[in-house]
Structure 1
Amino acid sequence: MDGSPLLAAGGGASLSPTSPVSVRSIAGINGAKRKRSAGAPGSTFDSSPGSVLNDDDADQGEKKRQPGVKRACNECRQQKLRCDVSQDPFRSCSRCNRLKLQCKIESNFKRIGKRSKHAEMEKEIERLRKNVQLARSQGYVVPEENEDDSATHSQLQSPIVNNNIYSHTRNPSLMGSDEAVSSLLHLKRGGSYSLPRIVRELEEVRLTEEGEAQLFQDFWLFYHPFLPFLNPSLTPEQYYQQHPLLYWSIVAVAARRYTMDPTLLTAISSPLNTLLWKTIGDVPGSHFVVKAMCLLCTWPLPTSTTTSDPTHILCGVMMKTATGIGLHRPNHINDFTRVAVELNKDQLHDRVVTWAVCNIVAQNIGTGYGQPASSLYDWTLATRSGESGPFQLSPELEARLQIERFCDKVSKEMYSNASDSRGVAGDEHRSILMRVFRREYGELHAEIMSRNLSPIVAFHLKAAGLHLRLAGFFDSSTTVGYLDDLMGLWRSTVGFLEEILANSTVSSPSSPQEHVGIDTLKYATNYLQQMLVAASFALLKLMRSFFSQAIDYDQGRQLFHRTISAIRSTSVVHNDLQWRLAELMVQMWNGARLETQQNRVDDDSMLKIDDSLQLKVRCRHSMSLVFDSIWHWREEYQARGRGTLDSLKHPTNPDSANESIASSSHMDSGNGLLSTTNHGLPNLLAPPSNGTLTPAPSGLAGHAQNGMLGVGLSYDANPANYDFFDPQHWMLDNLLDFNYSFVPPLEGA
């Protein structure tokens, strides 16, 4: 019986597992009918899923085994082949050695059903083919040869992959769909085929390995120098392990100017917001979440309306989370935990740096939004000259912290008067404070500039000087030294703008070997953008008043137009807040142009001083100027039909020399931005390709639709007819709801 050719074939390697001649039929021919004992101890049914065949080795082996009975290895059992493995002592079988397989014997091993596995993979390929056809019908261009390979590969090249193009297999026990398709296509077509690996997924946003690497590289090169507190030596995987919110916050910041996929920022905004507020709702206990909120406050996600900007609220959550987990008391961290925590030197330093950055960001938010800052400058952040250790900050962060301390003192002393309903210090008190802070700022400026730090520190130093000098708009025309304060404000404004515009490209310290330049306007923080807007409004207000006769008007005019282009270049999404503010300034400039072109007066005593520089909005600290200017635009231009933001679809044309000044959507011909480029800005002045941002009909625009603003808007310090108050740029909302078919010519035109 052992010499039967049929039996030999049944045990040889030439018999396929799917052959119609089964081992059971061979056994039936020879009269050897096998019986299975269902009640025998250890008996199991080792069968292939989707197959009616049973494993002979399993049948034979599930009976009561005697020591020394030979058992095949896993690989040979899977293929139903003879095996010459030796168990005692263990020696790999010849087949595993020849094929370089891992030879092992497991008592609980079960064969995998190849039929169901192959069927599932075939279904996956068919589904992907249909998706490729769908992608082709939607406008994707696919080369003719290896169409399926090329189409699928092109779909996955982008760091963001749509859910209907790539999805995981429904059977988690099988290999991933990318590996399955890749291996099958490689076997069937004989060509090379590689799919990019999806490394991270946030709802429908999926990042490839290449996209992740590029985004993190962009972050370290272009954004990290503005707030250098993260560790560039850590990998993206390590940041994800620290906390997913921190990982995705870095990706979102880098996506602001990501050229490989300009839609990534828009796509990631909604799922990241969901992750952010879910994390906050779960009461975070990790300082890595605080780091993520620092990033999102410094570079906020784009919003369609300013009332939906949560940055000021998020800043408060950031500070409360930081103090809740004891970042302000890193030496006594156990007072804030339920279990004993021992921090080494590096961990302690990391928490000190995070706490310092929290205060820097909180002060920036307070200054930029014109709100009381939630900063807390305590013992942990006290200046300790000559001290080294975990409490020592980098020179950049130490300088930034000194600057923000100064801004905090200015805000608290100038705009936190408990005796005034608006919190503004009195004229005499403010005049004394101005002299004190001017001297302190001079000392701070000399000290920091002597350290030879990066231009980014100089930007914030100049911004602090502007923050101090903007208090000049609160003075009355009868205040002693009124013209001197205005001249100091003029110099601070020009100095801040010239500093940013002259250093529009700085070297990135994150890549000293490559000397990569940073476009400070494109990658600037939200705070620098806000101060740029404030400086532009200050320039506009001074030049459209009696003070224009005391300055070089042509210099101011050219600087104003350069600033308009700079503000537009900071826009991340077409027709966002920065873009709309720039257009608003142009309309105000053109409306007041004839009134301000007057001869310069060398003698200050000949100036006709009036109250045209007085502010109506006075509750927003140094940023009151911005809100007051917006109110002025609503009164004098939009409500009276002299201006509209419909021109956002066709932004200001710098070469409109032949246009009439009656058109409020064009600058004058002498704008200083003709054919030459200014820091590469003309490309950013092109008309937007997508639609304008259209806020919901609420707030002021809702009243305007009832005719309230159609006859002109008058400012009331205590309005009784407004039942809302939004602390973040609420006056700019819904500007696009004002549509006028006729724009009358300006007075005097």
Structure 2
Amino acid sequence: MCRLPKKGKKACTIVPCSRCRKRNLECTIDDSFTREHKRRRYIELEHENEQWRQQLQSSQQLITNSVPVALPTAAASIAVSAVIKSDAHLGDPRASTLSYPQYQLPLSGSTQVAIMGDDDGTKLRALKSVTLAGEEIDELYQNFFRHYASFLPILDAQTRPDVYYAQSPFLFWAILGVSSRSYGRNPTLQSALAQEVTEMAFMSVLSTCAPWHIIQGLLILLTWPFPKDNRPDVTFPMSGMLLHVAMQNGFHIPMSSHEFSRVKIPAPSELDMVRRSELWAHCVLVYQRSCLIKGQSPRNLVTMAQDETQRQVLFDMIAPHLVQKLRCQEVLGKCCEAVLENGVRAMTLEQELALDVLLRRFEGDVDDIALQAVVEDERYYLLLCRMAIQSFHFYKTQTIATSGCLPRLIVTACNLVDYVQALADRTGYLFMVPVQITFGLLLASMSLLRILKSDLASSGLDTSRARATFFAAINLAKQMSTDRSDTAAKIVTVLTQLWNSSKAFRKADGSDYTALRIRSRLILSQILDSVWWWRDEFDPKARAEMRGCEFMDNISSRGRSFQGIEVGHATVGTDPGREPSSRGNVQNLSTSRRDDLYMNEDYLTNFEWLSDEIFSFPLDSSYNLA
């Protein structure tokens, strides 16, 4: 039947029309049929979706003390113009079988959300020796969405814990593990869950859960990693696993992700592509951040799309603030590659001048990105990106005082610490900050410490603000610490003891020692170099272990004298009381100076002296977190 309107440009005026005659159809004019504008239909669907949401919320009993959580995603703006029938799945465990999990999004940038329960309440759950009652689980979930979720908006706050457990036990326990950082009713819960949840993370790739939930769980653990304690640090290999799980399931090519499925599924809708694009953006950010924190050069993963058009489509889909973060990481990755290409081992005057030009160029790229920044969260990433780029100035020895980089370093470091201070003043606490904020505070405070402890501080620099900011950073690190073995607690120990030290960054004769002894860990080098100064003075156990290692025994048994190990054009492993030789001469060290020997950093790294974590020393038992 030809159902065409009576009026319109293509209305049937002859019965039967040529189309119906050709197809042998009955041709009639339907007066009731009218053309419908798509925008008007979308508006009606939006109203209908809102009515269903209100009906669902009114039929459930909300837990008290609901908290505002902003989910600034591009998917939120698209959700209001599409039919999202995820409400029916909120209480249905079978929702976990969806190829593209449907999480409900708020209609505005900030809305009141709460964890919803049912008449039976949340079920008791157990993970080996840890057992949590339903009300404890509800409190932990509410705590997560109140304090943590805004830093990583990838989960639906209205989904019940039991549904998360049905979708993925690993994701369920990952949320609980992070939330336990600030769970005052059971302060032992974090240490009890750390080992078990970490093992679940590595075993998750063998599970039958949807890869979407595995990726979400890994993102959460990498954003708020457990304290290392006496266990090896696994965040770096875990970040690689996150990246490969995402790529294996086609998240890096959202418009073709259905081609990576083991079963035939329909091509993703626009909303599905946005969700996958944003999740892939989070994967890239977390992976590259893990590389930088471990002193590795991050791969430029934004260009992994098969052509330039796909890359632009991805940028057009995701939220603008994610685009800005990706561009900051892209600039920082290119900067790392350029610095390594310029050379960092033993820099000549020409190399130092070239390095200065390179860093100014990349700072200009950050300035260009800053012109488009409109969200407060973007400002921190811009500050961290600028701080990381400027930290490469510490590789210079001949021009660091004359190139004018130190005043800019002080301003950037102070601005970064001020941002964290403003966050603390606004929220009243810092236990919930993700790893990138902790690392930013560490990078800024170590930079200020190195400048303030050097003779450069008395050469016309205005250090009054730097000094006050440094002490503020120590107090902020105390607020961040949730465990005596976490990085924030160790930051306090190292900064405090190095500040009061008369030997740190000094030669044996008391003169200034400006050169970095660790030069292969990019922006992490100056942090690790400071930790080495701390170890040399305050951790004799570490030095005793180095002196007693099998490598040194083998050399001693062969009757060979200890010498500096030549790498490139520099001599590392030399006496810290001497400047590194710029001519590459191998300097003999007497047996009496063995106690002051600094081994080749690559050798130590191979034996995991540094590879486990930035700080791998036991916390001083006398340190009080209060």
Q: Same fold (TM over 0.5)?
A: yes
* Equivalent residue runs for 1:695-710 within 5 Å: 702-703=545-546
Q: Quick one: structure 1 residues 535 and 712, their matched pair in 2 at CA, closer, same or farther if it must change by over 3 Å?
A: farther
Report the residue type matching 2:597 in the other structure.
S
Per the TM alignment, residue 379 of structure 1 is displaced from its structure 2 partner at its CA by 6.3
Q: What are the superposed Cα offsets for residues 237-292 of structure 1, whole Å, 9 maximum, x if unpaired? A: 33223322112111111111112221221222222123222223559761221111
> Contact 1:319–1:374 (CA<8 Å) still a contact in 2?
no
Report the residue type matching 2:387 in the other structure.
L
| Aligned residue in 1 for 2:394 | 473
Q: What are the superposed Cα offsets for residues 678-724 of structure 1, whole Å, 9 maximum, x if unpaired? A: xxxxxxxxxxxxxxxxxxx9x75533578999974332446768861
Measure the CA separation in 2 of the matches of 1:205 and 1:299: 20
Q: What are the superposed Cα offsets for residues 104-142 of structure 1, whole Å, 9 maximum, x if unpaired? A: xxxxxxxxxxxxxxxxxxxxxxxxxxxxxxxxxxxxxxx
Tell whether 2:221 aligns with 1:312: no
Measure the CA separation in 1 of the matches of 2:524 and 2:617: 21
Q: Which has the higher helix share?
A: 2
Tell whether 2:409 aligns with 1:489: yes
Q: Quick one: structure 1 residues 382 and 621, their matched pair in 2 at CA, closer, same or farther if it must change by over 3 Å?
A: farther
Measure the CA separation in 1 of the matches of 2:262 and 2:547: 56
SS at match of 1:206: strand
Q: What are the superposed Cα offsets for residues 313-340 of structure 1, whole Å, 9 maximum, x if unpaired? A: 1001111111111111122224323321
Report the residue type matching 1:590 in the other structure.
N
| Aligned residue in 2 for 1:339 | 263
Measure the CA separation in 2 of the matches of 1:217 and 1:280: 28
* Equivalent residue runs for 1:50-61 within 5 Å: none
Measure the CA separation in 1 of the matches of 2:548 and 2:124: 50
Per the TM alignment, residue 484 of structure 1 is displaced from its structure 2 partner at its CA by 0.5
Q: Quick one: structure 1 residues 391 and 285, their matched pair in 2 at CA, closer, same or farther if it must change by over 3 Å?
A: farther
* Equivalent residue runs for 1:8-407 within 5 Å: 198-281=123-206, 286-305=211-230, 308-342=232-266, 343-374=268-299, 376-378=301-303, 392-407=317-332
Q: What are the superposed Cα offsets for residues 593-623 of structure 1, whole Å, 9 maximum, x if unpaired? A: 9999xxxxxxxxxxxxx97322110111111
Per the TM alignment, residue 195 of structure 1 is displaced from its structure 2 partner at its CA by 11
| Aligned residue in 2 for 1:616 | 517
SS at match of 2:436: helix
Tell whether 2:600 aligns with 1:724: no
Measure the CA separation in 2 of the matches of 1:199 and 1:358: 32
Report the residue type matching 2:530 in the other structure.
S
Measure the CA separation in 2 of the matches of 1:631 and 1:369: 16
| Aligned residue in 2 for 1:540 | 449
Measure the CA separation in 1 of the matches of 2:162 and 2:621: 49
Q: Quick one: structure 1 residues 195 and 204, their matched pair in 2 at CA, closer, same or farther if it must change by over 3 Å?
A: farther
Per the TM alignment, residue 381 of structure 1 is displaced from its structure 2 partner at its CA by 11
Select 2:501's aligned residue among 586, 591, 594.
591
RMSD over aligned CA atoms reads: 3.8
Report the residue type matching 1:539 in the other structure.
L
Scaled by the length of structure 2, what TM-score is found? 0.65
> Contact 2:394–2:526 (CA<8 Å) still a contact in 1?
yes
Q: Quick one: structure 1 residues 485 and 533, their matched pair in 2 at CA, closer, same or farther if it must change by over 3 Å?
A: same
Select 1:715's aligned residue among 574, 595, 598.
598
* Equivalent residue runs for 1:663-742 within 5 Å: 702-703=545-546, 712-717=595-600, 724-726=607-609, 728=611, 732-734=615-617
Q: Quick one: structure 1 residues 308 and 718, their matched pair in 2 at CA, closer, same or farther if it must change by over 3 Å?
A: closer
| Aligned residue in 2 for 1:582 | 492
Q: Quick one: structure 1 residues 711 and 289, their matched pair in 2 at CA, closer, same or farther if it must change by over 3 Å?
A: same
Q: Quick one: structure 1 residues 738 and 379, their matched pair in 2 at CA, closer, same or farther if it must change by over 3 Å?
A: closer
Report the residue type matching 1:534 in the other structure.
L
Q: Quick one: structure 1 residues 637 and 247, their matched pair in 2 at CA, closer, same or farther if it must change by over 3 Å?
A: closer
Measure the CA separation in 2 of the matches of 1:216 and 1:634: 40
| Aligned residue in 2 for 1:20 | none
Scaled by the length of structure 1, what TM-score is found? 0.55
> Contact 1:312–1:365 (CA<8 Å) still a contact in 2?
yes
| Aligned residue in 2 for 1:625 | 526
Per the TM alignment, residue 352 of structure 1 is displaced from its structure 2 partner at its CA by 1.2
Per the TM alignment, residue 203 of structure 1 is displaced from its structure 2 partner at its CA by 2.1
Q: Quick one: structure 1 residues 422 and 248, their matched pair in 2 at CA, closer, same or farther if it must change by over 3 Å?
A: farther
Measure the CA separation in 1 of the matches of 2:203 and 2:504: 54
Measure the CA separation in 1 of the matches of 2:177 and 2:364: 41
Select 1:500's aligned residue among 409, 420, 424.
420
Name which one, 1 or 2, has greater alpha-carbon Rg.
1
Report the residue type matching 2:398 in the other structure.
S
Measure the CA separation in 2 of the matches of 1:369 and 1:232: 32
| Aligned residue in 2 for 1:463 | 384
Measure the CA separation in 1 of the matches of 2:251 and 2:125: 30
Report the residue type matching 1:364 in the other structure.
R
Q: Quick one: structure 1 residues 496 and 724, their matched pair in 2 at CA, closer, same or farther if it must change by over 3 Å?
A: same
Q: What are the superposed Cα offsets for residues 391-445 of structure 1, whole Å, 9 maximum, x if unpaired? A: 622233233223222222222222355x666999932332221121122222222
> Contact 1:475–1:482 (CA<8 Å) still a contact in 2?
no
Question: Mean Cα displacement is larger for which, 436-445 or 369-378?
Answer: 369-378
Per the TM alignment, residue 736 of structure 1 is displaced from its structure 2 partner at its CA by 6.6
Gaps of 5+ in 2: 1-118, 553-591
Q: Quick one: structure 1 residues 430 and 710, their matched pair in 2 at CA, closer, same or farther if it must change by over 3 Å?
A: closer
Report the residue type matching 2:534 in the other structure.
W
Per the TM alignment, residue 353 of structure 1 is displaced from its structure 2 partner at its CA by 1.3
| Aligned residue in 2 for 1:34 | none
> Contact 1:477–1:611 (CA<8 Å) still a contact in 2?
no
Measure the CA separation in 2 of the matches of 1:289 and 1:231: 15
> Contact 1:333–1:341 (CA<8 Å) still a contact in 2?
no
Measure the CA separation in 2 of the matches of 1:328 and 1:528: 26
Report the residue type matching 1:585 in the other structure.
L
SS at match of 1:259: coil
Measure the CA separation in 2 of the matches of 1:545 and 1:403: 31
Measure the CA separation in 1 of the matches of 2:315 and 2:535: 52
Report the residue type matching 2:436 in the other structure.
Y
Report the residue type matching 2:483 in the other structure.
V
| Aligned residue in 1 for 2:104 | none
Tell whether 2:536 aligns with 1:635: yes
SS at match of 1:482: coil
Measure the CA separation in 2 of the matches of 1:251 and 1:531: 26
Instruction: Give the % identical residues.
Output: 22
Per the TM alignment, residue 487 of structure 1 is displaced from its structure 2 partner at its CA by 1.6
Q: How many residues are aligned here?
A: 456
Per the TM alignment, residue 488 of structure 1 is displaced from its structure 2 partner at its CA by 1.4
Q: Quick one: structure 1 residues 702 and 296, their matched pair in 2 at CA, closer, same or farther if it must change by over 3 Å?
A: same
SS at match of 1:326: coil
SS at match of 2:302: coil
Q: Quick one: structure 1 residues 381 and 724, their matched pair in 2 at CA, closer, same or farther if it must change by over 3 Å?
A: same
> Contact 1:427–1:475 (CA<8 Å) still a contact in 2?
yes
